[in-house]
């Protein structure tokens, strides 16, 4: 008996809302470039942003990868909405009251 064949993922059968790891994208030949190139493309918004499910688990949404595959040269990732420090502020109560009273 030789080595068993690993179970390969059938990318076409995955749901758009499903997730796939970077290593699986490389194994399947979907992303033939290196990890450093992938990280650079992510930073430049030329490749989909991974979704952080846990500190060390950051897979990609399958639907985002499919969008990228349609036109990799012209792909533009959606910007991330990050809240750092004081960037996230509670709404001003006066502004809210103004909106409610004038509707």
42 Cβ neighbours under 8 A, 6+ residues apart: 48, 49, 50, 77
Evaluate whether residue 61 is within a structural domain: yes
Stated as kind and residue range, the H or E segment containing 22 is: helix 22-27
* Contact in structure between 58 and 51 (CB atoms under 8 Å): yes
Q: Which neighbouring-strand residues pair with 37?
A: none
pLDDT mean values, one per 10 residues, the chain (103 residues): 61 93 92 93 96 93 96 86 47 61 56
Whole-Å CA distances, 49 to 1, 37, 40, 52: 41, 14, 11, 9
Evaluate whether residue 87 is within a structural domain: no
pLDDT at residue 101, as a whole number: 60
The pTM (predicted TM-score) of the whole model is: 0.69
Q: In total, how many domains does the chain have?
A: 1
Parallel, antiparallel or unpaired: strands 60-61 and 19-20: antiparallel
Evaluate whether residue 64 is within a structural domain: yes
Evaluate whether residue 52 is within a structural domain: yes
pLDDT at residue 88, as a whole number: 46
Q: How far apart are the first and last CA of the chain?
A: 75
Evaluate whether residue 24 is within a structural domain: yes
């Amino acid at each position: 008996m030789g080595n068993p064949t690993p179970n390969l993922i059938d990318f076409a059968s995955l749901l758009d809302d499903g997730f796939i790891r970077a290593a699986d994208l490389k194994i399947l030949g979907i992303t033939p470039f290196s990890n450093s190139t992938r990280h650079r493309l992510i930073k430049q918004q030329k490749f989909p942003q991974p979704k952080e499910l846990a500190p060390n688990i950051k897979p990609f949404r399958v639907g985002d990868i499919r969008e990228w595959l349609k036109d990799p040269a012209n792909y533009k990732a959606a910007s991330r909405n990050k809240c750092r420090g004081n960037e996230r502020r509670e709404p001003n109560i006066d502004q809210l009251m103004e909106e409610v009273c004038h509707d």
